[in-house]
Amino acid sequence: MTAPQRETRAARSGAASRGPRPRGAVRTRLPLLVPAGVGVALLVLPLLALLLRADWPSLPEHLAAPVVGQALRLSAVTTSVTMVVVWLLGTPLAWLLARSDHPLTAWARALVTVPLVLPPVVGGVALLLTWGRRGVIGGWLEEALGVTIPFTTTAVVLAEVFVAMPFYVISVEGSMRALDRRYDEVAATLGAGPVRVFRTVALPLVLPGIAAGSALAWARALGEFGATITFAGSFPGRTQTAPLGVYSALEQDPDAAIALALVMLLVSVLVLGLLRTRWLR
């Protein structure tokens, strides 16, 4: 087949694909529109209600309240520190899970993902039993070093890491498992050690997976509530993050709670939208 013939065939194929769709395909999708529409409504209506209920003229005044500012700053700081911890610990963990063929790897993977299904309050109790004053590690820390973790900002970070890291590890491990092992073998034959292979070969190739996992983990850390209030409490300026601030303000000043919720919604949509246009396709 000559080049002009191939171009003509491609043009015809494109024109056919842009033509009207068969009625059979449209009829097949019609029964799915109702449940799909109900699903979209269940997700979108609460967000619309939040936007409609907001007192927009007084929004700057509510956002200027000291409690709101403290909660937003604390959330920004703790989620940033959480993501650094998640990157430093979760990336090597995902790599080991993706590259290990040991029979116990499946059990290790299951343990890592337990916080995904664990009720947040139960996670907070588990953190207290670990890092509390009478906990497995916390008791020793207080006795030997005089360090107390519960009801501090450090406790907030630990709670956020506990609930957010599984989202990151699962996403990054999936990307790393899809990576062709021949890249590792070629780099190893050229003299690169395991750390260098991981840093210069694997990481650049799985950046989309890392970005996706980071977005999911950050969003989970930002919205963390149950484990945080159980393990760290809700003290303004020290452990009261934005979700706890919303919950606290809801009883005293609903408009301030709505303003704070709007900020969280806006930041979440912006970050996830920016990541999706660049990485999450």
The predicted pLDDT at position 14 comes to: 47
d(CA 195, CA 176): 15
Give this prediction's pTM: 0.79
Does the residue 129 lie in any domain? Answer: no
Does the residue 37 lie in any domain? Answer: no
Does the residue 244 lie in any domain? Answer: yes
What tens-digit pLDDT sequence spans the chain (281 residues)?
554 555 545 545 544 455 556 566 666 677 788 889 999 999 999 988 888 888 888 888 878 877 788 888 899 999 999 999 999 999 999 989 988 888 888 889 889 989 988 888 999 999 999 998 888 898 888 888 888 899 999 999 999 999 999 999 999 998 888 887 787 777 777 777 777 877 788 888 888 889 888 988 988 898 889 899 999 988 888 899 988 988 888 888 888 888 888 888 888 888 777 766 655 55
In this structure, what CATH number is given to the domain that contains residue 160? 1.10.3720.10
Rounded to whole angstroms, the maximal C-alpha distance in the chain is: 83
User: What is the number of other CB atoms lying within 10 angstroms of the CB of residue 173?
Assistant: 24
Does the residue 65 lie in any domain? Answer: yes
Does the residue 142 lie in any domain? Answer: no
User: What is the number of other CB atoms lying within 10 angstroms of the CB of residue 221?
Assistant: 29
SS (H, E, C) the chain: CCHHHHHHHHHHHHHHHHCCCCHHHHHHHHHHHHHHHHHHHHHHHHHHHHHHHCCHHHHHHHHCCHHHHHHHHHHHHHHHHHHHHHHHHHHHHHHHHHHCCCCCHHHHHHHHHHHHHCCHHHHHHHHHHHHCCCCCCHHHHHHHHCCCCCCCHHHHHHHHHHHHHHHHHHHHHHHHHCCCHHHHHHHHHCCCCHHHHHHHHHHHHCHHHHHHHHHHHHHHHHCCCHHHHHHCCCCCCCCCCHHHHHHHHHHHCHHHHHHHHHHHHHHHHHHHHHHHHHCCC
Q: Which domain holds residue 240?
A: 60-121+148-280
In the chain, the number of structural domains is: 1
d(CA 16, CA 141): 71
Q: Give the residue among 261, 231, 237 at the shortest CA–CA distance from 157.
A: 231
d(CA 135, CA 142): 10
Does the residue 127 lie in any domain? Answer: no
Does the residue 141 lie in any domain? Answer: no
